[in-house]
Structure 1
């Protein structure tokens, strides 16, 4: 969801220019009127006359308008600097997306050229086909994520939210993620329990968990250990995804959820990405009337992402549970 801007830089620039011309006009008027007075009365007028109430008001008004011009120009330059940073992030995004697209395409092309230029044993042919399918799925996931985020911002994304038992929901999501990333129970496991009902779009919550797990995999240098903690308290269903990765500096905690924002880290200079993953996660959670935050004790100390979602009365589940069981069967 885009934050609405109440002040347009173009409007500010226009007002600043009008204030400048008004200031110039006032000072011209002040000079001409005093000059005409001196022409008419000559030296008979007291020098203190020019410091009358009207003249002082004009002087003060001119100073105020000059300050308004200065503030307007400062705001314009601030917006310009912000736009330049945004353009830099766009350039970085394009470069990253291009890399993410070219890598699987190059891989698919290589396998196809190999299959077309020589005889390949059936076992190797099946391996090549599986690898090409995996790369094509990676391409599809990247393109789908960009389209999904565009739909979120244009408010065209429609969520199919249904009621679930929180425990069952998380266990099904974790099982899918384990299979997708080929992780064992030690690498990705669940801790705690949550005896409550939540209302979510299952597919969107899978995107959330996948992105958080993908981040943990990318930013863990040693043995992978991801814990998905679940609990409920005070009308909230809480999910905490903890890893033992490289961690995040405190000043970057809010930055990582911004669009196109990728935090530079000397411990992971080769990690590639679009800068959209955590932004996408945050927008999904917002559309579920929840909130997400991050906590890390610092570099090399791991990271915890905390998600809070509202809970619902148990009788809500009875209206949709049979259909949901059939869907999951």
Structure 2
């Protein structure tokens, strides 16, 4: 009996030690994540000021408000202005990541038709598509796709998917967007005929700072945060964002799905916010 008791004491000790170590690792991970989020938040805010000043002076130089610039300055000023805009976009992404690493909470939830958000995103993408000799087609479907969420955040998801479809191609981009209602969800599929996603990248595709370096698109600018942010926003809406299919050299299809609004929810309704705590590794 004493031996059995001793065995139970030893097992209990092992379990206790494992529990304490697991809690310590979880606390260390939480502290590390909070420190990273705070760094990203402070860095993005602190860099925003100098970037705004830089952009302002570049605008004054380009417009001639500070005197007509020499002809040879035009191209460099255009490049500098474009890169400043790009840096501002990176700051926006870093700030969004700092929010996502804590609690994910939508700013304002309203009822809207997901097809309207798609139309607005396509309208924003069309000038870039036409500039490269490509185009975007839309199949709205016949069903009303009422969803409840932050329409601006859903628009950000769609913008990112469309921009990727237009960027990761070796020729004129041809992008197809299809809307449908499937199994109680509003679904948007965005298909392209671009470079596709290689097998070795698929498992980490939605992780932060993950970028493809396929031949022919090595110079595509970006931070590798777009898909990560988009998936987190989709999850915050109770939905999903997946790579449905991809063939290297022949294109990809990304699929966003968000639960349809329950019957009885009317236009203008502002239900309570979705609140989702990100799981910490442990």
TM-score normalised per structure 2:
0.64
1:185 and 1:272, CA in 2 relative to 1: closer, same or farther beyond 3 A?
closer
Distance 1:116 1:285, change over 3 A: same
* Cα gap change, 1:130 to 1:246, in 2 (>3 Å): closer
What does 1:1-329 align with in structure 2 at a 5 Å threshold? 119-120=68-69, 134-152=82-100, 153-155=102-104, 157-164=106-113, 166-179=114-127, 186-199=134-147, 200-258=149-207, 260-267=208-215, 268-312=217-261, 316-317=265-266, 319-320=267-268
Instruction: Name the CA shift for 1:272/1:185 in 2 (closer, same or farther; >3 Å).
Output: closer
Instruction: Note the C-alpha offset of 1:264.
Output: 4.7
For the residue of structure 1 that corresponds to 2:247, the secondary structure is coil
Deviation at 1:304? 0.8
Structure with bigger gyration radius: 1
Q: 1:128 to 1:249 in 2, by over 3 A?
A: closer
- Aligned pair in 2 of structure 1 residues 129, 205: CA closer, same or farther (>3 Å)? farther
In 2, Cα distance between equivalents of 1:192 and 1:155: 29
Asked if 1 retains the 8 angstrom alpha-carbon contact of 2:90 and 2:223, the reply is no
Query: How many matched pairs?
Result: 253
Q: Distance in 1 between matches of 2:99 and 2:236?
A: 12
Q: Closer, same or farther in 2 for the Cα pair 1:307/1:157, shift >3 Å?
A: closer
Instruction: Summarize the Cα distance change of 1:236–1:111 in structure 2 as closer, same or farther, 3 Å threshold.
Output: closer
Specify whether residues 225 and 180 from structure 1 end up closer, same or farther in structure 2 by C-alpha distance, changes over 3 A only: closer
CA distance 1:144–1:301, change in 2 (3 Å): same
SS of aligned partner of 1:296: strand
State how far apart, in whole Å, the 2-side matches of 1:240 and 1:131 are. Answer: 34
Any gaps of 5 or more consecutive residues in structure 2? Answer: 270-282
Between structures 1 and 2, the one with greater helix share: 1
Higher relative contact order (CA 8 A, sep 6+): 2
| Kept in 1: contact 2:58–2:80 (CA 8 A) | no
Q: 1:189 to 1:121 in 2, by over 3 A?
A: farther
Distance, in Å, in 1 between the alignment partners of 2:258 and 2:84 is 34
In terms of fraction of residues, the more strand-rich structure is: 2
Provide the aligned C-alpha RMSD in A.
Answer: 4.8
Residues 94-133 of structure 1: CA deviation (Å, up to 9, x unaligned): xxx9xxx9999999988878979984379x87x9887766
Deviation at 1:295, TM superposition (A): 2.9
What's the TM-score, normalizing by structure 1?
Answer: 0.56
- Deviation readout 1:228-283 (Å, 9 max, x if unpaired): 1111122221101111121113453331112x241453424444432211110001
CA distance in 2, matches of 1:310, 1:251: 31
Q: Runs of 5+ in structure 1 lacking a partner? A: 1-52, 322-329
Corresponding residue SS for 1:312 = coil
